[in-house]
Structure 1
Amino acid sequence: MGKIPQIVPITDLRQDATSIVERASTTAEPIVITQRGRPAAVMVGIETYERSQHELELLRLLARGEKEIAAGRGFELDAVMAEAEALLQEAPR
């Protein structure tokens, strides 16, 4: 089971946005914003967001590759590994 997320009511966000945004920026953990006791949004720092978007793009590329392999199309392993290495070098850390 995963770690329990930080939960912040929207009223707290309104009253203390600066420290909550700072908390989101300095930790890699998401902050769940609730409205009327229900989850309404998730706040993460920009580095965490950019990293997750990069990882999502890599997963999309892998899924596309699996579809191409199933369809009998594909690329040489050396070319794929070189492209993957280039993508990883661009990844925010």
Structure 2
Amino acid sequence: MDIKNNIKPISYIKANAAEVLKQVNETRSPIVITQNGESKAVLMDAGSYQEMMDAMAMLKIIAMGEKDIAEGRVLTHEEVGKKLKEQLDAL
């Protein structure tokens, strides 16, 4: 994805909203919106946004797991098996 080709001023977005939305949804390539020559926002299709949010959630879960490992909050395979068996027996 070459973001340099997808930088548009807000005035262009306002004048061509339907066309811009069509482009974003067809290409799934985000558009950087500028105002007074500075980037201010990114316009992206809903599917790509959801995929990005899902990936961020997964990365947060991985980071939490790495922190648990670093702080010694881990169980052996045998300990997990024992805990699961205890929970099943309690049912």
TM-score, with length taken from structure 1: 0.74
TM-score, with length taken from structure 2: 0.75
* Whole-angstrom distance in 1 between the partners of 2:9 and 2:30: 14
Q: Is the 8 A contact 1:65 1:74 kept in 2?
A: no
Q: In the TM superposition, what are the counterparts of 1:1-93 in structure 2 within 5 Å?
A: 3-5=2-4, 6-74=6-74
Structure 1 unaligned blocks of 5 or more: 80-93
Does 66-75 or 31-40 show the bigger shift? 66-75
Structure 2 unaligned blocks of 5 or more: 81-91
Displacement after TM superposition at 1:30 (Å): 1.2
Instruction: Among all aligned residue pairs of Structure 1 and Structure 2, give the percentage whose two residues are the same amino acid.
Output: 32
Number of aligned residue pairs: give it.
77
Q: Which runs of 4+ in 1 moved over 2 A?
A: 2-5, 74-77
Higher helix share: 2
